[in-house]
Amino acid sequence: MISSKIRILTLSCLLTTSITSCGGGNDDAIPPAIEPDKPEKPTVPVEDPRADVPVHAEGTPYTTYRGMVMAGYQGWFGTPGDGCSHARHENTKWYHYRENDMFKPGVLRNSIDLWPDMSEYEKGYDTEFRYPDGSTAQVYSAYDESSVMLHFKWMQQYGIDGVWMQRFVGEVIDNPDGKDHFDKVLENAMKGSDKYQRAIAVMYDLGGYTPQRQQKVLDDAQNIYNSYASTRKYYLHENGKPMIALWGVGFNPSERGYSNEDIQILTDALKQMGYSVMLGVSTYWRAGGGDTYTPGKTSLHKLIKSVDAIMPWYVGRFGDINSYNTGGNEGGFANMVSKDLEWCKKENVLYVPHCHPGSSDLNMHPYYTRNSRAGGDFYWTQLYNCIRRGCEAIYIAMFDEIDEGTAIYKVLNKSDVPSNAADEVYWVVYNPRNEKMTYVNKSGYKMSTTNTVFISYGAVEAPTDGWCRSEKEMGITFEGIDDNLKTDHYLWLTGEARRMLCKQRDLQESQPKR
């Protein structure tokens, strides 16, 4: 009874409320249902796969390679009149610009595939090349202090931490002219490091090394330790010691002239001297195969475990983004980086992956294949994958290597490069059995319609599976930065990669836009 009255009263109240709220409008209107508040779904934070690296404070010493992006610096370009003893000799006056002892237009007559953007250099040297407008093309000499200082200025401007100064055993040991050149370039670079507060360290390229040269290399390294490594504020350190690197480890000893055991002795002596050591190793150092001397894998791993850091070499191992993602023997090079990193972490060795913007050395090796830079996408793909997989430091090849097309510094756009057309008729003979190229300017060569066989002239012969082609037919031009990009594009990308490594910008798979 009481319940019935309550239900009637409640219905009456609801009806009264409905009529009042409608204001005499639609008497059949039904008020909307009131939805209860839905609790917000908790946000699950996405874990950042990047390593937690120290961020270097400008103006302070470089106490670790971690958190840094550094490039290799060849520093090997010289010119007539630059003051180096190389310039006194006809065959070396265009040091590392030359091929077949000359620096002239035409394949096998010069060694560079990119042309430096000379607009900011204090001093340039005239060449026999001509820009598209007919004016004389110029190049620089690294023997000039002003050239190297400009390069270090760019490093600071674009946020690149510094460089590894290449020191070639075959060019500084038992070679007074080469030692003159590289000693002066190193001196120039140390001044640049001081002025622009960039990290610097020395890397020996072991090409030309033999066990008989061990003491001479150690004497040279001791001089560098006394003059620079232990005294300069911005010389790179790792684990409390100045760093030095040895590049060319893990390859076939019959081709290199030294074994892993030989380099172990050299490495131990450098450590005893007071250095922290990084090794530049073969691509497949961990699993073996490919460029790695697999029978020596045990001694190689023992050597690697005894040093502070390693840097595997990748130039020539993949030529585009697809081959980077799928090549190698472990499902792509990005996967290889992950496995390399895991191995090194276990052994407490700093793993430094190597990235490069592309490569080309057709003027020296016209049978090679061009490496497409893809407007920077090829480069950024490597940088992104190394950083997202947790790498703590990166090595860039190279800052200034225009003779193998890996340079990241300012080079001319495609429409601005000089002509590479020769001023005479000549032929290039190729023997694929030994990859030997022969430059011939005799008129007695006869080419078949297929360019696979020819009638030999004099003492120069090619096998029937080789070829002989005219320079004009080959049509090898200088490479260049895409015309829609600035000449500093790869410097800028390198600086952006450093920011991404240090979590100063978002982790980004696609190439950033300026």
**pLDDT score recorded for residue 144:** 98
pLDDT surpasses 90 at 3: no
Which residue matches tokens 């193998």? 404
**pLDDT score recorded for residue 33:** 56
CATH class of 68-417+480-501: alpha beta
pLDDT surpasses 60 at 36: no
Domain with CATH 3.20.20.80 in the chain: 68-417+480-501
- Kindly compute the dihedral angle of the four CA atoms of residues 294, 296, 298, 300, in this order, to the nearest 10 degrees: -100
Confidence of residue 10 (pLDDT cuts 50, 70, 90): very low
Contacts of 94 (CB under 8 A, 6+ apart): 78, 79, 80, 102, 103
Task: Measure Cα distances from 141 to 92, 309, 439, 480 in Å.
Answer: 13, 32, 27, 20
Confidence of residue 425 (pLDDT cuts 50, 70, 90): confident
**pLDDT score recorded for residue 268:** 98
**pLDDT score recorded for residue 140:** 98
Segment 430-436 long-range contacts (CB within 8 Å, at least 24 positions apart):
430/366, 430/367, 430/462, 430/466, 430/467, 430/468, 430/469, 431/462, 431/463, 431/466, 432/367, 432/463, 432/465, 432/466, 433/463, 433/465, 433/466, 435/365, 435/367
Considering only residues 49 and 462, tell me which one the structure prediction assigns the higher pLDDT. Answer: 49
Mean pLDDT over residues 184-208, rounded? Answer: 98
**pLDDT score recorded for residue 436:** 64
The tens digit of pLDDT for each residue in 52-86 reads 999 999 999 999 999 999 999 999 999 999 999 99
Confidence of residue 370 (pLDDT cuts 50, 70, 90): confident
Confidence of residue 37 (pLDDT cuts 50, 70, 90): low
Q: Which two tokens stand for residue 115?
A: 């042309």
pLDDT surpasses 50 at 457: no
Q: Which two tokens stand for residue 405?
A: 């097309």
pLDDT surpasses 70 at 107: yes
Q: What is the pTM of this model?
A: 0.88
Q: Which two tokens stand for residue 152?
A: 């270090």
CB 202 within 8 A of CB 242: no
Confidence of residue 43 (pLDDT cuts 50, 70, 90): low
The tens digit of pLDDT for each residue in 217-263 reads 999 999 999 999 999 999 999 999 999 999 999 999 999 999 999 99
Peptide bond into 398 cis (omega under 30): yes
**pLDDT score recorded for residue 470:** 78
Q: Concatenated DSSP letters for 399-430?
A: SS-TTTT---S-B-BGGGSPP---SS--EEEE
**pLDDT score recorded for residue 474:** 85
